[in-house]
Structure 1
């Protein structure tokens, strides 16, 4: 992966090492001079990268004890970089976490949307569904995953709860990873469209129970598609 700035490259290098378990939690990072030389950057660039990872909850800097890796339970797991590093390191765990989060959040978000969505919210859902249908009709299906993400983001926005809307934007990378895996199962794309249409129609009709049930059906189908996806078994022996 190429990065536009040196700072982003160093943050990525350190973040991948932390998520990959190169340094144990509570243990100090290597001496600053040695680590900077190993990565090929200045001490100043290394320090700025460390500050970024402190903000993500991954590192702690204290006088006399140096810079230490914090346990994973203290990390900001909704941070886009952390999600990306987890995807590269333990994709299966990220898929499980994403599915569990969707089960907890999306059905209730659909209930809220069915009770609160205005005309613009419903239009955003219909537009995302139309984009999904158009992409599904193309041989390459380019843009399908992006349209699917836009649909679920619009659903979280439609409930009028700003925290849910922010959550939807925060987990874009996790959703993208999940959808890229699930849509590689034969027939998954075609099978998903009626369920998404059922969500929109339930929201437009103001039927919270139907909206929640339709979303849960989508999530359950995605779990089965992920389990069967060639993308997960391609490298299996």
Structure 2
């Protein structure tokens, strides 16, 4: 593994402080002189680190005023956004937006998979649903989450679109963490099993539109369960 440069180390440390809430959105960050003293590096190194974060739209430079932190919604780095979401405060808006993203990508992937999925993939999907049932009966949240994630991963790859699976890979950690939270609720597990079984039936029938609708219903149920059992929204 390549060693991080001083510039990368300073940039990562500043991002850590932003994610931790030390510098909230629209707040000003310390100047080059202060940061160079804190890290015991040259001002040039600090300048390059801040340029790196500015290029990712994490920071913005306002001439004559200083360097400020942008809101998460303006950031241009998926890695940084996921880091902020997974390490920062767990709020309702982020949880809902994650489901919205899944709906946009996974319904399309499921539709594609219906006409491309292999018999072997269908067998693997059936096995994951059965393992979800067994984990539900045994109250094994870890096993339930593993099978849930594996089920969706099979569909993403069965879509035959290489970009879909690549786009989802960085989301794996945050999806795993959030599934572990929601899957502690037995009612959510039961709903998920029913939805996964319906998706499997649509894929087995190899009916693209039915598969899209089944996945969309799953996302709707997931959102309703999140609001009802986790966020306790009215």
Q: Same fold (TM over 0.5)?
A: yes
Give CA-to-partner distance per residue, 1:64-95, whole Å, 9 cap, x none. Answer: 9875434534313632x422422422521111
Q: How far apart are the structure 2 equivalents of 1:213 and 1:140?
A: 29
In structure 1, stretches of 5+ residues that fail to align are none
Give CA-to-partner distance per residue, 1:126-176, whole Å, 9 cap, x none. Answer: 343344333323233223223212222222221111121112213224433
Q: Could you tell me which residue of structure 2 aligns to residue 72 of structure 1? A: 72
Work out whether 1:82 is the aligned partner of 2:81.
yes
Matched-pair contact (CA < 8 Å) for 1:33–1:43: no
Work out whether 1:22 is the aligned partner of 2:23.
yes
In structure 2, stretches of 5+ residues that fail to align are none
Q: Could you tell me which residue of structure 2 aligns to residue 211 of structure 1? A: 211
Q: Could you tell me which residue of structure 2 aligns to residue 163 of structure 1? A: 163
Q: Could you tell me which residue of structure 2 aligns to residue 193 of structure 1? A: 193
Q: How far apart are the structure 2 equivalents of 1:48 and 1:145?
A: 41
Distance 1:64 1:128, change over 3 A: farther
Matched-pair contact (CA < 8 Å) for 1:198–1:214: yes
Give CA-to-partner distance per residue, 1:199-226, whole Å, 9 cap, x none. Answer: 1232132111221222122212211211
Work out whether 1:43 is the aligned partner of 2:41.
yes
**TM-score computed with the length of structure 1 as normaliser:** 0.74
Q: How far apart are the structure 1 equivalents of 2:119 and 2:51?
A: 44
Deviation of the 1:33 alpha carbon: 4.2
Give CA-to-partner distance per residue, 1:6-41, whole Å, 9 cap, x none. Answer: 949726523415xx482544x652023434656xx4
Structure 1 stretch 200-209 or stretch 55-64: which is displaced more?
Answer: 55-64
Q: How far apart are the structure 1 equivalents of 2:128 and 2:41?
A: 47
Note the 1:215-234 alignment, pairs <5 A: 215-229=215-229, 231-232=230-231
Distance 1:55 1:109, change over 3 A: same
**TM-score computed with the length of structure 2 as normaliser:** 0.74
SS state at 2:138 partner: coil
